[in-house]
Amino acid sequence: MSGARSSTSSVTKDPGQKPPAEPDVASLSFEDALAELEKIVRSLEGGQQKLEDAITAYERGAKLRQHCEAKLAEAEQRVQAIVAAADGALSLRPSE
């Protein structure tokens, strides 16, 4: 009987259980991070969240913004490493 009980408890959810954690910001692509950031901004602008939820969303949004800025800076460095020669040929210059 204890075997049946333990299998039932693994299926039953605790009502105080938190929703699944959001993916780590660092693991997100630029596009995914930007999409999530835009969703958070729309939600905050709507003003329908509880204060604690809004603060949590704002904190995540700040992390997402920093992540997006870092990804853009990295992309900019990569683009600047491509140098066009006078004859129109492209070459890579070493990154600093």
Q: Note the pLDDT of residue 80.
A: 80
Residue 11 falls inside a structural domain: no
Q: Note the pLDDT of residue 78.
A: 84
Residue 10 falls inside a structural domain: no
Distance CA 17, CA 73 (A): 38
Left (φ > 0), alpha (ψ -120 to 50) or beta: where does 19 sit? Answer: beta
Residue 87 falls inside a structural domain: yes
Residue 3 falls inside a structural domain: no
Residue 66 falls inside a structural domain: yes
Structure tokens at 74: 């990295």
Residue 77 falls inside a structural domain: yes
Domain count for the chain, please give it.
Answer: 1
- The CATH number linked to 42 is 1.10.287
Integer angstrom CA distances of residue 85 from 11, 17, 77, 88, 93: 64, 60, 18, 5, 11
Residue 19 falls inside a structural domain: no
pLDDT tens digit at each of 96 positions of the chain:
444 444 444 444 444 555 567 889 999 999 999 999 999 999 999 999 999 999 999 999 999 999 999 999 999 888 887 766 666 676 766 655
Range of the structural domain that residue 37 is part of: 24-92
Residue 16 falls inside a structural domain: no
